[in-house]
Amino acid sequence: MVCLSLRSARPHRYRARSRGTQPSGVTLPHPPLPPAPAAPMESSSSPPPPPPPPPPTGGDPSEDGAASELPRLTVTQVEQMKVEARVGDIYRVFFDAPPSTKSVMLELWRDQHVEYLTKGLRHLAPSFHVLDANRPWLCYWMVHGLALLDETLDDDLENDIVDFLSRCQDKHGGYGGGPGQLPHLATSYAAVNSLVTIGSERALSSIKRDNLYKFMLQMKDKSGAFRMHDGGEIDVRACYTAISVASLLNILDADLAKGVGDYIASCQTYEGGIAGEPHAEAHGGYTYCGLAAMVLLNEVEKLDLPSLIGWVAFRQGVECGFQGRTNKLVDGCYSFWQGAAIALAQKLMTVVDEQSKPSYSSKLSSVHDACGTSSSGLASEKSSTVNYAKFGFDFLKQSNQIGPLFHNIALQQYILLCAQVLEGGLRDKPGKNRDHYHSCYCLSGLSVSQHSAMTGSDSCPLPQHMLGPYSNLLEPIHPLYNVVLDKYDDAHEFFSGE
């Protein structure tokens, strides 16, 4: 799992194999190839078949000698086989079920999820003390999850959340993980997104934007990137949380933006994904953060988009969900981190087409030689006059330039059949427990996949682009901030007038 406290992606001691490969001579399950992306602006509503079961253990005694000479399976390979077996069992039950049972299995259990999330906002067990420094995140995961389900909080609960987050706001700017705690960019992002999602005038006006801007300037590093807190680590998630908050609150300017794009571009790896820092491993959470930040900065041309899209697309595996890194297990939270990243790319195909031309690499090289920097959507000498606030707003109004670049129906199948918990809430994968984090990001990913085939920004998904009844439809989000679209519009209007 990955939070926007995103765990550092540790480089493997040995180079990881591509997903689905195996050592020579080792007998592993032979699942079908990952589902191919749907044709542009089309999507089949037929879910993909389940992967076959793993091969039986044991066998002919005469084979024991040969088997003893085979390489041992790695821990990752064993765990992968277990996950495929659990997921395959669920899918076989589904495909063998009568139509009436299939309809029930494909329902989004709204009432149970609402009850689980609402209960968490009102009371958490003592075991949650380990998340004491993440309390604004708990608010965001639950408030955003309920907003996706189109559930309205009562006034008293809204006011309690606003009061609590106000106590988390440092007098010098930024939000800490709890009252009196050190201000931190990640918890500032969570707090601001929570308040924007609540959306009342009291909630939005409680954000002290001037102090928050000063705090973010203090977190600015000479490299152009941001550090998470005073003396903290510098990475791509710090860049994203700072740029996202500043853009959403209409305080993003040239001083905050300077150098961020170059730092993020330096974190793109040979695989195509983006790492947390230069020379680290490509990771789904950082890839989303880096790409979204680049769009908000209007510097997306600094990334190798064809390579990035290819890496993300191939993180969707035989289970139908996404993994976060090469050779890792499927995880429901990447339904958003990877799904939203590739959904952003659907609006960037003009740049992708340009970068795919043979002449682009030579043109880019000449720019490097002349200027010492990568190509950018911004002219550095005019950066002080750039209206950064418009980039997030204008991006949303663009139509998708191509259909889903991932199997959106397959992703919905994984979330509905493998991530839902009957008692409410969603989880990482079968065999794991539900939690508020995965509930938030599985629902966010479900919304992304339902709306990924829309032709226009104001259109509604067609039934063939959804799995299960149309009542499964969630509220659309702004994919750059992961807040519900209506809430973003209200906040944009509020902060544009200040």
Our answer to whether residue 428 is catalytic in this structure is yes
- Please identify which of the residues 229, 237, 325, 492 carries the catalytic annotation: 325
CA-CA distance, 277 to 261, in Å (whole number)? 13
Query: What's the length of the chain?
Result: 498
Our answer to whether residue 154 is catalytic in this structure is no
The one-letter amino acid code at 442 reads C
- Please identify which of the residues 170, 235, 304, 435 carries the catalytic annotation: 435
Strands 477-478 vs 483-484: parallel, antiparallel or unpaired? antiparallel
Our answer to whether residue 363 is catalytic in this structure is no
Our answer to whether residue 486 is catalytic in this structure is no
CA-CA distance, 197 to 444, in Å (whole number)? 14
Terminal-to-terminal C-alpha distance of the chain? 38
- Please identify which of the residues 170, 235, 304, 331 carries the catalytic annotation: 331
- Please identify which of the residues 334, 388, 441, 488 carries the catalytic annotation: 334
Our answer to whether residue 334 is catalytic in this structure is yes
Buried b (16+ CB within 10 A) or exposed e, 105-143: ebebbeeebbebbbebbeeeeeeeeebebbbbbbbbbbb
C-alpha distances in Å from residue 316, one per residue of 113, 337, 451:
25, 12, 18
Cβ atoms 108, 416 nearer than 8 A = yes
Our answer to whether residue 371 is catalytic in this structure is no
The angle subtended at Cα 238 by Cα 237 and Cα 244, nearest 5°, is: 85
DSSP string, 13-67: SSPPPPTT---TT-----PPPPPPPPPTT----SPPPPPPPPPPS---GGGHHHH
User: How many alpha carbons lie under 13 Å from residue 390 in its C-beta half-sphere?
Assistant: 3
- Please identify which of the residues 333, 418, 440, 442 carries the catalytic annotation: 333
DSSP string, 315-348: TB-TTSSBBSSTT--B-TTHHHHHHHHHHHHTT-
The alpha carbon of residue 490 and the mean position of all alpha carbons in its chain are separated, in whole angstroms, by: 23
Q: 10 Å Cβ neighbour count for 81?
A: 16
435 sits in which H/E element = strand 434-435
Tokens of 317: 């595996």
- Please identify which of the residues 144, 428, 441, 451 carries the catalytic annotation: 428
- Please identify which of the residues 208, 209, 283, 407 carries the catalytic annotation: 283
CA-CA distance, 152 to 117, in Å (whole number)? 12
- Please identify which of the residues 113, 438, 478, 487 carries the catalytic annotation: 438
- Please identify which of the residues 135, 184, 209, 328 carries the catalytic annotation: 328
Our answer to whether residue 333 is catalytic in this structure is yes
Residues annotated as part of the active site: 283, 325, 328, 331, 333-334, 428, 435, 438
